[in-house]
Amino acid sequence: MVKTTINLDEEIYAEIIKESIEKYGSTKNMSKIINQRLRNRTNSTGKRRRRITFKAKGNLSSLDADNEIRKGWEESSK
């Protein structure tokens, strides 16, 4: 765990305090709320970020690799 000081807008701070008290009964768990929100944040399109993985054949030339990446991307985005 790393400790640091951050400056929050008053509205954000009040929201985090309220959620911490509702969920955990005190303000001691503000870090849990902030960590959860950062893990669950969405990108600019409103979709949750996720890692895209797919398998590719070994020993590919650069053209083959591009095709494999394109195929994997298309399959994972369906």
Model confidence pLDDT, tens digit, residues 32-63: 888 888 888 765 566 666 666 666 666 656 65
Separation of alpha carbons 16 and 33, rounded Å: 7
What are the residues whose beta carbons fall under 8 Å from the beta carbon of 29, sequence distance 6 or more? 20, 23
Separation of alpha carbons 63 and 56, rounded Å: 13
Domain boundaries, the chain: 1-41, 47-78
Average pLDDT over residues 17-28: 89
Q: Considering the entire predicted model, what is its pTM? A: 0.48
Task: Report pLDDT for 75.
Answer: 74
Task: Report pLDDT for 56.
Answer: 60
Separation of alpha carbons 37 and 57, rounded Å: 37
Instruction: Give the residue carrying structure tokens 């994997």.
Output: 72
